[in-house]
Structure 1
Amino acid sequence: MRRWALAGGGALAALCGVLATAPGRTAARLPEGVAESGAVGLGPPPEAGGARVLRVVDGDTLVMRIGGRSRRVRLIGVDAPESWARHDCFGVEASRALRRLAPVGAEVRVVADREPYDHFGRRLLHVWTGNGRLVTADLVRSGFARTLVIPPNTRYAAVLGAAEAVARRAGAGLWGACR
């Protein structure tokens, strides 16, 4: 397993949006319009399909209806603290954050990367909210998840790495709350 965290300079970091921060921390302010544009201005690619959220399992796993079937989905490129098998620091907050981004019943857009399933049989997908925001980028930039890059699924690794660099510097979420 390989983990990337890009130290990223100002240009990449500035494209990552406004940060949610831990209590007592100041949010990073970015250029006007960046946060509203979604994750680095990236909406879902043209090949993205539709899905409906049925349940949020934890901060990086959902159950979705895709093509008429219920599927367990693991978000590509992130690792959120655990909240059910064990209780990691910031795990409950990560699960709540994913529930806010992808609430039950929400219509989302999804696209696969190079490997379709993980070793647990979960479908590996990139997920966008109904308004075109890359869910994993929002989770990482707000400090609810860490970047976890497992080749060959690296399509958005640079985006997530830059988001993590910004979150770390700002002490956002788990970066400020967990030691």
Structure 2
Amino acid sequence: MRLILGYLVLLTVVGTLFYLRRPAPPAPLAASAAAPARERARVVWISDGDTITASPIEGPYAGREQRIRLIGLDAPEMHPSPQCWAKQSTDALAGLVPRGSTITMEFDRRRFDDYKRQLRYIWNSAGILVNAEQLRLGNARVLRIWPNVRHDKDFKTAADQARTAGRGLWKSC
């Protein structure tokens, strides 16, 4: 009986040592660090300070007009009746991305809003991130909607600068 009890204790000790020395499970795979795909398009129309219509220059949707909502900001509405600073915000966006100009667009995680507009970050031909520039100029407020938060910190900083300086709607509305 003592011999059996000794074997059980030895087996328990050896089993515990094997259990404690097993390798740690592998770390979960990180999300792909590859840069998101960018697409060039031509600006067709400016609807208001955060919405445009553009036509991709290349790819499967080349030549098809698409409504684009700029990610991360909420500009005053032009319709049904213009809100405070709506015209100035729309005019500023038209200055940053004039009709006929070439822009570079990029998706984040969520690609469409509830109105079936594409959600995009937009760079103009000078390489300016237009979403952030509209905030920096005081033409819009930050609108954070998860999961499209890639440039969140930049957008908050830009809007804070506009608010502190009293630019745009922060001065007039």
Query: What TM bracket, shorter-length normalisation?
Result: 0.7 to 0.9
Q: 1:70 aligned to 2:60?
A: no
Any gaps of 5 or more consecutive residues in structure 1?
A: 1-44
- Identity within the alignment, %: 40
Secondary structure class of the residue paired with 1:72: strand
Partner of 1:124: 119
Gaps of 5+ in 2: 1-34, 57-61
Question: What is the match of residue 61 of structure 1?
Answer: 51
* TM-score, length of structure 1 as denominator length: 0.73
Structure 1 residue 141 corresponds to structure 2 residue 136 = yes
Which residues in structure 2 correspond to 1:80-119 (within 5 Å)? 80-119=75-114
Structure 1 distance, partners of 2:159, 2:67, is 25
- Residue 60 of structure 1: how far off its partner (Å): 0.4
Q: CA RMSD of the aligned region, Å?
A: 1.1
Normalising by the residue count of structure 2, what TM-score does the alignment of the two structures yield?
A: 0.75
Paired residue total: 134
Deviations 1:142-169 (A, max 9, x none): 1001110100000111100000111111
Which of the pair is proportionally richer in helix? 2
Give CA-to-partner distance per residue, 1:122-150, whole Å, 9 cap, x none.
01100000110000111100100111010
Task: Indicate the structure (1 or 2) with the bigger Cα radius of gyration.
Answer: 2
Q: Which residue of 2 aligns with 1:51?
A: 41
